[in-house]
Chain A
Amino acid sequence: MTDANAQIKETVTSNDVVLFMKGTSEMPQCGFSSRVAGVLNYMGIDFKDVNVLADEAIRQGVKDFSDWPTVPQLYVKGEFIGGCDIITEMTLSGELDTMLEENGVAFDKEAAEKIRASNA
């Protein structure tokens, strides 16, 4: 196991919600990362952001770790949930709420409903 691999594993197991993204939660540097971080922030979800642009080993490492070629990547309780398209679909269908509830992750249900109402 490479250092990057071990570091990623440690990050996703020691934080309930982790978003590997380009840029940071406050300053995303890619539209897709921005969209997912925006949803998590709006729903009041406490998450750890990992800026892959800050570390080339992590940038490539997380793609290998997840067997997923793109960033952003969302992890909940150590499980890979998906990228931007999947998170968007799950947010709009309500599956994201169910998944968070099942994992005991706190979020603002009203905010989630507002996202759905404005994208209906």
Chain B
Amino acid sequence: MDASVLEDLLRDAFPTADIMVDGADGVHMAAQIIAEEFKGKNRVAQQRMVYAALKGKMDGPNGELHALALTTKVKE
């Protein structure tokens, strides 16, 4: 998956967030998302929201992304 595709998916889900995506090989990627939507949610809930935004692209052997290192923070 191209880093820009990942960024677009995240941008759609978190329109006002600060988003940084990194990952040259398209399989092992890293994303940092600082979003207002995370307020009041624990880390597990925050990352579940991110995975939901990726609409199954992490899933199973056919998932396009093998590994996504995630950092989520609340935007103040």
B67→A32 contact, CB < 8 A: yes
Interface size for B (C-beta < 8 A) is 14
B44→A80 contact, CB < 8 A: yes
Interface residues of A in 61-118 (CB under 8 A from B): 63, 67-70, 80-86, 89-90
Task: For the complex, give the distance between the alpha carbons of A67 and B48 in Å.
Answer: 8
Instruction: State how many angstroms separate the Cβ of B66 from the closest Cβ of chain A.
Output: 9
A86→B67 contact, CB < 8 A: no
Residues of A within 8 A of B70 (CB): 85
Instruction: State how many angstroms separate the Cβ of A83 from the closest Cβ of chain B.
Output: 7
Q: Given the interface contacts A67-B48, A68-B48, A69-B51, does A82 sit within 8 Å of B58 by beta carbon?
A: no
Q: CB within 8 A of A68: which of B51, B67, B69?
A: B51
Residues of A within 8 A of B47 (CB): 68, 82-83, 85-86
A86→B48 contact, CB < 8 A: no
Residues of B within 8 A of A41 (CB): none
A85→B58 contact, CB < 8 A: no
Residues of B within 8 A of A11 (CB): none
Instruction: State how many angstroms separate the Cβ of A113 from the closest Cβ of chain B.
Output: 22
Q: Given the interface contacts A85-B47, A86-B43, does A69 sit within 8 Å of B71 by beta carbon?
A: no
Residue A60 is within 8 A (CB to CB) of chain B in the complex: yes
A69→B44 contact, CB < 8 A: no
**Which 3 residue pairs of A and B lie closest in terms of their CB atoms, listed nearest first?**
A69-B58, A86-B43, A85-B70
Residues of B bordering A, CB below 8 Å = 43-44, 47-48, 51, 58-60, 63, 67-71
